[in-house]
A and B are shown apart, each in its own frame.
Chain A
Amino acid sequence: MNIVVAMKQIPDLQQIRIRNRKPVLDGVPAALGIIDKNALEAAVLIKESQGGKVIVLSAGNEEVEETVKEALAAGADEAFLVLDDELDGADGSVKALVLAEAIRKIEDVGLILFGEGSGDNYSGQVGSRVAELLGLPQVGYARSIEINDSSAVIVRSLEDGDEIIEVSLPVIVNVLGDINEPRIPSVTQILKAGKKLKEVLELEDLAIDLTGLPEINMVSNLAPETDRKQVKVSSVDELLQALKTEGVI
């Protein structure tokens, strides 16, 4: 059984500066979504106990080929990439069509893993869209996954409790950020990652029609105004005095 892990390339959020309330994305390095790494770790753990192959799947611009090395170092066996500048920042409806079509090209897929939300948008819709496109069952907010031959027992964590679900494979699972602690690859693993198999396709290699999709338009995207006082206090007494003057205690 092959396990596909969908991973999204995002700008490294720690390095985004705000200027005149606008995010400055120029020169910000690319990274993989944080929760996507939990999805990868979940896949690698299943592979280590039950065998099979972990294939990382990503759709984005050319840079993805470099970014995805981190996933190959952290335990993925192969990468399946769809690279096209048009996919840079594309809407979830576009990404879903691309990912679903790519998954159709991969053999013997039993499990398709996503993170509960991407690191930048945290919208959490692509996994659900792919499930619909492939006509597969899905389980979101997974806290644990146990594979038994042709089915899985998955714990879906909801606000008010845990739902234990039995579902037959293949299934799409969106994992929670706290399902595991992703491993940090060693230097040798990083060096070896460059040699792992990468299948790279372009958009035109896929039989999909991207016209007529719903459009999402951006009116504005601004950082909220903040004007905090940033006063340093050097003792608890000074702090208490300041809070009293503010009238909050």
Chain B
Amino acid sequence: MAGVLVYSTKQGLALELISAARKIDETVWAVSINDDNLAQALAAAGARVFKISNPDLTVADTGAVAAAIKQVLDKVNTDVVLLSSDRRGKELAGRLAQVIGAGCLTDVTAINVEGSKIECQRNALGGATIATQYIEGPKVIAIRPRAYEAAGAGNGSVEELAVEIKGAAIKVIDFKPKAADTVNIEAAEILVAVGQGLSDEAKLTDIQDLAARLGGEVACSKPLATDKKWLSEERIIGLSGKKCKPQLALLLGISGQVQFTVGIRDARVIAAINTDENAAINYMADYIMQADLHDVIKELNEKL
């Protein structure tokens, strides 16, 4: 093994990958594409960075990015690649794996080096189980955001690299930034999480009120953000959202599908309020209250 190559378009995530890579090998290579700041930041964290500047190469074109990274891999002669498991990284993972004949694991939450094996943990069966797997042969491993701390200062370098790219297959004609929701539910000690049991959007103010009284944050199940769009996707708990470990999770009108519970099972105390006494969430809860969440919220807001 001659080092590990890391790549993410996001500086914060790329720095986390450097930490993860160091568990595998001291030598960490990195790639930046049309992003000088990223190249500098990664070098300052100890990575040996290949800086690619090529106007024909857009990070939106997964095929072209995979082709570029392949050219870097040929130069450094390693077959271990770590990507970030954000949307860009996950989309790239399979393509790059196919280009270099690698096995691929995404959404990896932890890696452990056991001799020559890199054991990866990831959720399986929708989150019902945690699988520990390792890849034999070349590997592309995409690591969940915030699974590792960002790497600290180090002594890296930046080298420019010219890559050959076929004409762009994809044209980005516009980018519409999302209204930023800077909430970090993963850091919250108390979460008030609401699901499809909530009757209408206007009632959200009561939920926000309760969260504020408790000194916590509002979180939600996926459909509340992606289908109903009542809250931002930053607040989703679960397999395709965030994995949280608050001291207290107050779950309101959430049924408890595994894709949700996987994101909250590390909470210290879970209280669930649901009209259905057989809701799956009750098996995941320390305190179970069979009641209409709207009544409970009202009373809690009066009493707290």
Contacts and interface: CB of A to CB of B under 8 A. Distances in A.
Mostly, the A contact residues are: mixed
A93 to B, nearest CB: 7
Given A132-B98, A162-B175, A122 B126 contact: yes
Contact of A165 (B60, B106, B136, B248): B60
Interface in A163-194: 163-168, 174, 176-178
Contacts of A215: 103, 135-137
Contacts of B123: 122
Closest 8 CB pairs of A and B: A125-B94, A128-B94, A214-B103, A137-B169, A140-B91, A132-B98, A248-B248, A178-B226
Contacts of B282: 230
Interface residues of B toward A: which range?
35 or more
B265 to A, nearest CB: 6
Contacts of B104: 92-93, 123, 125, 129
Given A156-B60, A236-B303, A243-B287, A132 B176 contact: no
Contacts of A96: 94, 98
Contact of B87 (A132, A138, A158, A233): A158
B91 A124 contact: yes
Interface stretch (B43-51, B193-201, B288-296): B288-296
Given A125-B97, A141-B87, A234-B289, 12 more contacts: A120-B125, A124-B91, A128-B93, A138-B62, A138-B95, A140-B90, A163-B175, A174-B91, A214-B103, A223-B130, A239-B289, A249-B304
A217 interface: yes
Nearest to B95: A128
Interface of B: 60-63, 66, 86-88, 90-95, 97-99, 101-107, 119, 123-126, 128-139, 169-178, 180, 190, 214, 222, 226-227, 233, 239-240, 247-248, 257-258, 265, 268-271, 282-290, 296, 299-300, 303-304
Given A229-B287, A239-B287, A219 B268 contact: no
B2 to A, nearest CB: 18
Given A128-B62, A217-B134, A249-B248, A141 B91 contact: yes
Interface of A: 11, 13-14, 16, 18, 23, 91-93, 96, 117, 119-129, 131-133, 135-141, 153, 156-168, 174, 176-178, 213-224, 226, 228-234, 236-237, 239-240, 242-243, 246, 248-249
Nearest to A14: B257
B95 A221 contact: no
Contacts of A131: 62-63, 95
Contacts of B106: 123-125
A164 B172 contact: yes
B226 A140 contact: no
A125 B125 contact: no
A214 B140 CA distance: 11
Contact of A139 (B93, B170, B289): B170
A177 B226 contact: yes
Nearest to B122: A123
A134 to B, nearest CB: 10
Given A161-B175, A229-B286, A243-B271, A122 B107 contact: yes
A226 B60 contact: no
Contacts of A121: 124
Contact of B91 (A16, A91, A120, A128): A128
Contact of B133 (A156, A160, A174, A216): A216
B105 A216 contact: yes
